[in-house]
Amino acid sequence: MKLAIGSDHAGFELKEQLRSYLQEKGIDHTDKGCYSSERADYPDYGHAVANDVLAGTVNFGIVICGSGNGINMAANKHKGIRAALCWNAEIAGLARQHNDANILTLPGRYISLEEAKKCVDVFLSESFEGGRHQGRVEKIDL
């Protein structure tokens, strides 16, 4: 499994902590930026992660900004991307099971490191259930 991860300045600290966590777990990942806590524009990093997911160079993405909203909106502009803003493990699991989410979005200013780790673990371990959810997911891309 390989991931792409990106954040703006508000998500930088959490991104760096999650990168260490991914390394500890032996999960290969690509850091798409930003690379410091200096002001950075979230769309740049949301688009970079989404492009990697769509190109198939990674299996999933993780994006982070202050509230999670802006970077989530940017990633979801790409046809084929289903980025899900998650603030706890249950929501992250449902995003995979019911929505076939391929990018996990985290609100850097509103989630603890421990909860973010739980979200990552569940997001990466769950799979899409299909069935009654399949038709709904197919309706997302116009």
Distance CA 47, CA 50 (A): 5
pTM of the model: 0.97
Q: Does 86 sit behind a cis peptide bond, omega within 30 degrees of 0 on the bond before it?
A: no
71, 44 contact by CB (below 8 A): no
Every domain of the chain and the residues it spans:
2-138
Decide if 86 is catalytic: no
Decide if 34 is catalytic: no
Distance CA 10, CA 99 (A): 27
Distance CA 100, CA 110 (A): 24
**pLDDT of 138:** 95
From first to last of its 142 residues, what are the pLDDT tens digits of the chain? Answer: 999 999 999 999 999 999 999 999 999 999 999 999 999 999 999 999 999 999 999 999 999 999 999 999 999 999 999 999 999 999 999 999 999 999 999 999 999 999 999 999 999 999 999 999 999 999 998 7
**pLDDT of 2:** 98
Catalytic residue among 47, 86, 98, 119: 98
Tokens of 138: 């197919």
**pLDDT of 37:** 96
CATH class of 2-138: alpha beta
**pLDDT of 142:** 74
**pLDDT of 110:** 98
Catalytic residue among 65, 78, 86, 119: 65
